[in-house]
Amino acid sequence: MKKDIFKSVTLPNGVALKNRIMMAPMTTCSGFYEGSVTNDLIEYYRARAGEIGTIIVECGFVDNKGLAFPGAIGLDSDDKIEGLAKIAQAIKEKGSKAVIQVYHGGRMVEPKLIGGQTPVGPSAIAAPRPGAATPIELTADEVDQMIDKFGQAVRRAIQAGFDGVEIHGANTYLIQQFYSPNSNQRNDKWGGSRDNRARFPLAVLDITYNMVKQYANSDFIVGYRFSPEEIEEPGIRFDDSMYLLEKLAEKGLDYIHFSMGAILRPSIVDTQDPTPLINKYIAMRSETLAKIPVVGVGNVVNESDVRAALDNGFDFVAVGRACIAYPDWTDRIMKGEKLELFINSDKREELNIPEPLWHFSLVESLIRDVNLNVKKFKPGNYQEKVNDESYEFVINVELGKDFIKDMQLVNANNFDNEVLNNFSEIKHRIIESNSPHVDAISGATSQSEAFKKAVTKAMAQSNKEAIIAEGGDPNAKAYDVVVVGSGGAGLAAAIQAHDLGANVVVIEKMSVIGGNTNKASAGMNAAETKFQKLKGIVDSKDLFYQETMIGGKNKNNPELLRYFVENAPDAIDWLDNNGIELSGITTTGGMSIDRTHRPASGAAVGGFLISGLVKNINRRGIEVMLDCNVTEIITENHKVVGVKVTEEDGSIQTIKAKAVIIATGGFSANHEMVEKYRPDLKGFVTTNHKGATGSGIMILEKLGAGTVDMKEIQIHPTVEQTTSYLISESIRGGGAILVSQKGERFVNELNTRDKVSAEIIKLPEHYSYILFDQQIRDENKSVEEYVSQDLTVQADSINELAQKLSIDANTLHKTIERYNHFVNNKQDEDFGRTTGLRHPIDKAPFYAIKIAPGIHHTMGGVTINTETQVLDTEKNVISGVFAAGEVVGGVHGANRIGGNAVADIIIFGMQAGKQATDYIHQ
């Protein structure tokens, strides 16, 4: 018999669901930072309840190490019940059943999501994916405790008023990890044989029913979600899943929920067999399992998709992204509507989609910008050759009329699985966002940039061909504003100008977007911010001004500095409003108060910031031209009319523009220029990327721009010399110390950079060690990068560390004991350190990195006013030309405070975008 989609269906426990449609559980990333429920989340679910039979609410983590994505909601404490109850009530008031998933991410949890802690799992085996952390193996007692945590989470779901729970045994999360021979290689009762590996999911089901018996009625729904196969070797195979499901069925379930990307997906292991897994499931299941309804999910958009699922054996169909795009999806299907899966960019609020979900890849790929002038391509295949540090890649890029259709690695046979996996991941990111400007893969940056460059080159060639095919001139480009430089200042300026109505292009001479901002590590300074107030930090703009002026040895331009400190909180808010939240707060040298804002995870600010800004660039469709070097600003009658650009192939073109913003950074990587102003810095390494050559200063000097403070070049005290890695000031701000080769402290580690650098240079060996413990590592995500790059020396004791560093162990012991005494008393009797005295250094393992000063920042640059207008040598405005970021001089005086550079680029980048737009509109 054909199953009627919209008739009531009764579950094994006797509960009647009004139809066969469920809303699939989907990540929204919209909870508060600690997992409680937001009002947006409540309204999101309320809007989708009604005609749909059941809503399965996204998974709730069972303890605070279990969240596998940002903005996750929690079932980990009783204080979450009140908020969860509001979701359940909102759904049930509209007439739908409310079910919530319970889960723990296990080894799939990223340390940054749990405050830098190490995740846990059945065994200490990292997930087979780039950059995955190796989890801590749960002890037998901790396994028992974890099962209890699942039980308590179920109790909270019951007390919050949900109609049921779905045990999340899928998506390679903890329950699946226990059943998998890949992630579970224990030798106790929880591992080894298939029966032993099945103990954990069965125990979770047992405790679920215990809680239902104690706290709920017999009509409480219990479902189980599973992933039918793992591609890993060894891994779960379909017969393993059937074996587990039969065991679960014997204990009783109200439904079983496949977790797949497509309703009729065949095996991902036996790729030669086209049989849908649901067909295999129907053929293999016992009479007991056959009594339990089965739910299908994946790519369900129209009634025909539902019908195909039911006809192949599913009893219920879970609808995912279509429910996001159409909150009234069930009503529309009942009316016979034929739907397309997209969302117009102006419909977020109308559709009750929370802002974090709107920016999540799940939804971003559906958004169709109703106002965007999409860059045209000539459809076809474009083959590009690109290189990273080791290989040459031949890549076919297939383009549609206005979208990136596909990418193929032509010479894939030349590479190992790691390279192929990296290519597959970058390809996914590029196609999802319809842009080559996506995040690189951690640990494979150079390779990622090569893959992205192939797409950039193909798009540029295709765009030229499309323009020619329409009878146009590909060299006759015209914009309102040209932004030169794609670091934080340039991207902030471009976004601001676009949002104020300007037609903008960003031109970058490097093949990578982000400039020197990619290397920023500490954070962004601002005083009197909302995030400080939330943490009870009392600060003042006047104090910020005074400390920056002192740090800059009173050489700072007072007007620029006053504008800087007054507008810093607004810049923090502007970033937050654009999905870039810097709510974690620490301190840096020269500051007396915690005002250095950074990601809550403790991650380095630079990559986080550029990633967020690039997402905003992509969302607005702002064009970015890479491998294009602006060599001249063209003026006529003292007005800007365009720029001259040299492309990678040597061709030269003129781009028309009404205003130009120069945001090209400083000149730390130009050794000749550094030595011209500071001969004493000859031979110093630099922390800057190789594009920091002062090109913007030279371009502006051709127009008669004045410069200031060119001799003021900052060296950063903590630079690893063989790689030029900057060791973030936030590590010292988090409690690390500096010790000499004698094993002694020799400086207030959080004094200004110039003073700390000078003390290191005074040492006989001209280097020192930055020393810290596991607690500081846990609180500073940037340490993970240093560890992965083998920059750290690690030891389980101070004695062992001293031996590895060839330092006298007794001396090092005494140094650390004395420092810990200062920490406990909050008074440094030796060097007067007053900030960053957070924790004693006493939690093994212990770490050290050998460091010495390196060229880090050029405080000098062109002269501007507070409107970011470039001034000539006589302090007159050069009309239509603006500048922001390190290309500008005067803001930082003789020495830049750590955390002020990121503030500088955002504050003055925003101002440049606004002022350039005001100028062209006048």
Catalytic residues: 753
Query: Three-class SS of residue 806?
Result: coil
Residues 662 and 905: their CA atoms lie apart, in Å, by 12
Q: Are 691 and 669 in contact, with CB atoms under 8 Å apart?
A: yes
The residues facing 661 across adjacent strands are: 483, 882
Task: Determine how β-strand 768-773 pairs with β-strand 737-739.
Answer: antiparallel
Query: Three-class SS of residue 384?
Result: strand
Residues 313 and 442: their CA atoms lie apart, in Å, by 42
Which amino acid makes up residue 365?
S
- Residue from 433, 460, 439, 463 nearest 451 by CA: 439
- DSSP output for 825-872: HT--TTT---S---S-S-SSSEEEEEEEEEEEEE--EE-B-TT-EEEB
Q: Are 348 and 324 in contact, with CB atoms under 8 Å apart?
A: no
Query: Three-class SS of residue 780?
Result: coil
- DSSP output for 77-88: SGGGHHHHHHHH
CB atoms within 10 A of CB 745: 22
- Read off the tokens for 699: 């371009």
Q: Are 300 and 263 in contact, with CB atoms under 8 Å apart?
A: yes
- Read off the tokens for 879: 């009309």
Q: Are 640 and 520 in contact, with CB atoms under 8 Å apart?
A: no
Residues 343 and 329: their CA atoms lie apart, in Å, by 13
Q: Are 300 and 317 in contact, with CB atoms under 8 Å apart?
A: yes
Residues 808 and 799: their CA atoms lie apart, in Å, by 9
Cα distances (angstroms) measured from residue 371 to each of 345, 352, 434, 834, 914: 8, 20, 16, 53, 21
Task: Determine how β-strand 524-525 pairs with β-strand 392-399.
Answer: unpaired
Residues 62 and 105: their CA atoms lie apart, in Å, by 9
Q: Are 335 and 295 in contact, with CB atoms under 8 Å apart?
A: no
**Positions of E strands within 583-709:** 584-586, 596-598, 623-625, 628-636, 639-647, 652-662, 707-708
- Residue from 55, 541, 535, 648 nearest 323 by CA: 55
Q: Where are the alpha helices (DSSP H) in 126-166?
A: 140-159
Cβ burial of 604 (10 Å; 0-12, 13-18, 19+) is buried
Q: Are 45 and 324 in contact, with CB atoms under 8 Å apart?
A: no
The angle that helices 277-284 and 238-251 make with each other, rounded to 10 degrees, is 50
